[in-house]
Structure 1
Amino acid sequence: MGQEMLAIYDEDLKEIGKAPREEAHRKGFLHQVVHCWVATRQGEEIWLYFQQRSFEKKDFPGLYDLAVGGHIDAGEEATDALLREMREEIGVVPQKDRLRYLGIRREEIRLGTFYDREIAQVYLYDPLQPSFSPGEEVERMIGIPLPELKKKELFGQKEILGYTLDGKRITLKEEMWCRHPGEFEEMVLPVIQGLEVREL
């Protein structure tokens, strides 16, 4: 298998070349990724779903993260990358009419020699009946009721409760998460709140 090649961009988001993924992360080249939040109704509540990253992953092993996230390969369309990542990571072929594009968000993470600068194409998927079949990059999926997630994202609570897909309650501490500052509050929550007033 060849190296994963990423398109790289200048500050005006104009494509200026290509680079291997590892080089992009080492040198801080701006590149594109997809993020997909998954939300649905459970009774009277909205729930959101997250993946636990495989412990074999090089970056952030074992941490909890958005339901789906991954790089857009050079020459690949964002929607194609999203569909590919949804199949590979959570085993879902989405109903296209339940998939919403929310916009672009910039992220930057610097940890030692890891320098990740991303243009995230952000989506929301609200399936009628959530069903997941995690791939090798994902340990498991969990669900969190919206009021509980708000405690972490809006009010900085250090521990919240989540649930495995078989209903086991788990405590999720702050250090167990990948962070995407502001993405939930600014991009996802306004849409989720709109969903609360109608059936998903």
Structure 2
Amino acid sequence: METERLRIFDEQYMEMGSLPRKEVHKQGHWHETFHCWFVRRESNQTFLTLQLRSKVKKDFPNLLDITAAGHLLDTESVQDGVREIEEEIGIKVNMIDLIPVGRIKNELILNQFIDREFCHVYLYVISLENEQYTLQEEEVSGMFQAKLEDLKALYKEKTSEIEVKGFTVGEDGSRSEAVIAVRKESFVPHGETYMQTLFKAVEELSFEE
């Protein structure tokens, strides 16, 4: 994975070539990612679906994150990124069914890890609390639902803890239902602009009743 080649860009989104993924993060180059958030509406409540990253992940193990996401290789278009959904959580989705949020710049600097992303962000409306997920075990170890209002309160620091509901998958493949209390540090960090843009897009979403 570290040898995968990614397109690199300047801060204005002008392409500058490609480099191995390891070098991209080491040198702090801007690159592209694909993000898809599953959203559902039930009883006047809006929910976002979160994946629980596997404990064997090199970066941010055991943290909650985007429903499905991944880097775009130097041979891929944004549309090719839809593959990440089926690969990570086993749900086949057509690009035409996704709702574009936009391209969001997101920057994270942690010691020797410099992650500067142009995130192509999409929403996908689901009707069931638990779809028939088939998880890629080296990537994902569970799926959870969080209320939009709870997430907003957490990120605006109006509360320090919220509950999320879902399931985890054990090493033997068994699933265990779970309701867990989580804090802001339980999530992979995304910038304030990213989260504000996401929340606004979900709030403006029209759901068919």
Aligned residue type for 1:175: E
Structure 2 residue matching 1:192: 3-state secondary structure: helix
Displacement of 1:42 in angstroms is: 2.5
Aligned residue type for 2:26: R
Unaligned 5+ segments in structure 1 are none
Displacement of 1:180 in angstroms is: 1.3
* Larger CA deviation: 122-131 vs 32-41: 122-131
Aligned residue type for 2:150: E
Displacement of 1:127 in angstroms is: 2.0
Distance 1:2 1:48 in 2: 30
Distance 2:198 2:99 in 1: 10
Structure 2 residue matching 1:35: 3-state secondary structure: strand
Q: Deviations over 1:125-177 (max 9, x none)?
A: 11233512221200100001222222112345221111014753210122211
Q: Which residue is 1:189 aligned to?
A: 199
Displacement of 1:79 in angstroms is: 1.6
Give structure 1 regions of 4+ aligned residues with deviation exceeding 4 angstroms: none
Q: Which residue is 1:21 aligned to?
A: 21
Displacement of 1:96 in angstroms is: 4.4
Q: Which residue is 1:117 aligned to?
A: 116
Distance 2:83 2:38 in 1: 16
Determine if contact 1:95/1:127 at 8 Å carries over to the other structure. no
Distance 1:167 1:42 in 2: 19
* Larger CA deviation: 151-160 vs 17-26: 151-160
* Larger CA deviation: 163-172 vs 98-107: 163-172
1:145-160 alignment runs, 5 A limit: 145-160=147-162
Q: TM-score, normalised by structure 1?
A: 0.89
Change (3 A) 1:198 1:19: closer
Q: Deviations over 1:79-113 (max 9, x none)?
A: 211x2110111111125454111111111111111
Aligned residue type for 2:9: Y
Determine if contact 2:163/2:179 at 8 Å carries over to the other structure. yes
Give me the identity figure in percent: 33
1:77-88 alignment runs, 5 A limit: 77-81=77-81, 83-88=82-87
* Larger CA deviation: 8-17 vs 162-171: 162-171
Change (3 A) 1:25 1:2: closer
Distance 1:2 1:97 in 2: 30
Change (3 A) 1:156 1:28: farther
Aligned residue type for 1:125: Y
Displacement of 1:68 in angstroms is: 1.3
Distance 1:119 1:17 in 2: 15
1:1-200 alignment runs, 5 A limit: 3-81=3-81, 83-129=82-128, 131=131, 132-136=133-137, 137-165=139-167, 168-182=178-192, 183-185=194-196, 187-195=197-205, 198-199=207-208
Q: TM-score, normalised by structure 2?
A: 0.86
* Aligned residue pair count: 197
Aligned residue type for 2:61: P
Q: Which residue is 2:170 aligned to?
A: none
